[in-house]
Amino acid sequence: MTRRSLLVSGASIAGPALASRLARSGWDVTVVERFDHLREEGQNVDIRGVGRQVLRKMGLEEAVRAAHTGEVGTQFVDGHGRVVAEFRAGEGDSGGGTAEIEILRGQLSRLLYEQSAGEATYRFGDQIQALHDDGTGVDVDFQSGRTQRFDAVVIAEGLRSRTRAMLMPDARPHELGLYTAHLAIPRIAADNAWWRAMFCGRGRMLFLRPDNVGTMRAGLFFLSDVRGLDRLTPEDTVSVLRKTYADVGWEGPRVLAEMDNGSLYLEAVGQAKLPTWHQGRVALLGDAAYCASPISGMGTTLALTGAYILAGELMANEDPRTAFGQYEHRMRPLVTEAQRLLPGAPQVTMPRSQAHRTAFHAALRMASTPLARRLGKAAGRFGKPRSEAIALPEYA
């Protein structure tokens, strides 16, 4: 019996997770990644609900747990670093602002790669140049000059996927008017194991999070109507951030002083809201299909769950086009829940004025009281968390 072949474009989270399951089931899987190495940078990510169930099925839950960042919860602080409100890490599969499982994106990517690299073929430093779907297979032209035929192709790239544009030229990200910048900075004696966040006013936020490699992960979120800041040169990016956060107290000066250390990256936050995730024998997976944005806290859960369901449907259906339709049908309810942000978010959650910030702090203090926590737990008994919006299918 001829082995069916699949090309996966993207070696971050969703791509290697899909490759692992399909290659182990007998598919001939090739993963192409435009970078010439496995990218191990990135901030903290959490895995919740059905995503945790996928980790268990893959046999990776304990390895991921062992790579925990050590974060114990979230503290909101004022401009002097004084705690306004704190929330302990969640317990179980779905609870808490800080999840029970927190891991650096690069370390999770490495675990998924190592599990799949023995059976799947990885091709770094190359990318798709053109796709030719004739209904019975897909001929792929690569930038390296190679041409190869596959039974199906899956694009597991980011929100602003270049390859997706070949398939769906009219697809555009839904912009949220928010930028996020991240960098790693040296840890000092005053740092602790809390995710500490400060609202800086004028639609800005600054936070520090612990990791398990001896540094701290700094993040800067800010609202802006200006488009294209994520395409600036590194030098101009640093200049913009230093001007934007020049008056910020607490750890602001410390973070700004480290911006030339080479770990800084900035991205525009958005969502992928597409009418379909497949066309012919080519499908989209992960952020390229249904990015929910970092503020949803659901990106990694969606990537793992989507990879699990897509792999299961490809194994269960002879025709990839049928599998793609079933995958979309099963995943849509989870994606819909994940992309449902608070009304007015992110603007409403990023105070601009001092009065708005004061009111926000008061709301956080109230939410952190024992009574509010008990009421929250009681309410949770009557409804499922959004990370459990679907029942994970069982596949042979």
pLDDT tens column, 168-184 = 999 999 999 999 999 99
Mean pLDDT of 190-207: 96
Q: Which contiguous run of DSSP H or E holds residue 373?
A: helix 370-380
Tokens 């939410």 sit on residue: 367
Label residue 90 by pLDDT band (50, 70, 90): confident
Q: Long-range contacts of range 112-116, CB-CB < 8 Å, 24 or more positions apart?
A: 112/13, 112/16, 112/17, 112/20, 112/60, 113/11, 113/16, 113/38, 115/16, 115/20, 115/58, 115/59, 115/60, 116/16, 116/17, 116/19, 116/20, 116/23, 116/29, 116/31
- 157 pLDDT higher than 90: yes
pLDDT at 249 over 80: yes
Per-residue model confidence as pLDDT tens digits over 305-360:
999 999 999 999 999 999 999 999 999 999 999 999 988 889 998 999 999 999 99
Mean pLDDT of the chain: 93
pLDDT at 1: 54
pLDDT in tens, 95-133: 667 778 899 999 999 999 999 999 999 999 999 999 999
* Confidence category of residue 392, pLDDT binned at 50, 70, 90: very high
Enumerate residues 6+ apart whose C-beta is below 8 A from 80: 249, 250
Helices 299-316 and 50-58, packing angle to 10 deg: 60
Phi, psi of 362 (to 5 degrees): -60, -40
CA proximity to 10, closest of 19, 21, 22, 23 = 19
Mean pLDDT of all residues in 14-19: 98
Q: pLDDT band for position 371 (50/70/90)?
A: confident
Query: Residue 284, class by beta-carbon neighbours within 10 Å (0-12 exposed, 13-18 middle, 19+ buried)?
Result: buried
For the stretch 271-317, pLDDT in tens is 999 999 999 999 999 999 999 999 998 999 999 999 999 999 999 99
Cα 189 to Cα 230: distance, rounded to the nearest angstrom:
33
pLDDT of amino acid 382: 47
Give me the percent of the chain exceeding a pLDDT of 70. Answer: 96
Q: Is the pLDDT of residue 161 over 90?
A: yes
Give the pLDDT band (50/70/90) at residue 211. very high
